[in-house]
């Protein structure tokens, strides 16, 4: 088995997120986004945003998570979000919370990288994007 360097894996993720962004259905905003998830298994799952006239869109990250889970995968290591905007776009609060569900499930942080067509990048850990995501609410005892 040939192991790829981290740089090559990240470039493959970026390429897959970019390709996915081209498939986005965004007739209202024309804001196309693609996402790629690298799982602990080494598999990659992608998703793109899908808009509807009621403004309740499916975000690229949501679609990628759904595809991964549908294939029996939940242990997310890296998330790439690709957009054409400058600066690059990080996951929204709702997507951060969805990613956090899997971060808590496997008790590790997730690397999040936002990239755009100019190859500008923002790299952060999910815990930086959602700093209080690990707080557990204690139930009151009667």
Q: Which residues have a catalytic role annotated?
A: 61
> What's the rounded Cα separation, in Å, for the pair 54 and 112?
29
Tell me the two tokens of residue 108.
């590790």
Tell me the two tokens of residue 39.
């799982």
**For residue 60, how many C-alpha atoms fall within 13 Å in the half-sphere facing its CB?**
31
Measured CA to CA in angstroms, residue 50 lies from 28, 53, 59, 88, 130 at distances of: 10, 10, 7, 19, 24
> What's the rounded Cα separation, in Å, for the pair 38 and 64?
10
């Amino acid at each position: 088995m040939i192991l790829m360097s981290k740089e090559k894996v990240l470039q493959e993720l970026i390429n897959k997120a970019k390709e996915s962004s081209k498939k986005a259905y965004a007739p209202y905003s024309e804001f196309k986004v693609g996402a790629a998830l690298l799982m602990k298994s080494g598999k990659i799952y992608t998703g793109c945003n899908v808009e509807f006239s009621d403004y309740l869109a499916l975000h690229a990250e949501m679609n990628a998570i759904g595809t991964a889970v549908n294939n029996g995968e939940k242990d997310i290591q890296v998330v790439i979000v690709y957009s054409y905007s400058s600066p690059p776009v990080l996951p929204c609060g709702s997507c951060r919370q969805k990613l956090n569900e899997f971060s808590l499930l496997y008790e590790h942080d997730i690397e999040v990288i936002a990239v755009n067509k100019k190859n500008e990048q923002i790299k952060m850990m999910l815990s930086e994007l959602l700093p209080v995501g690990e707080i557990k609410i204690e139930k009151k005892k009667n």
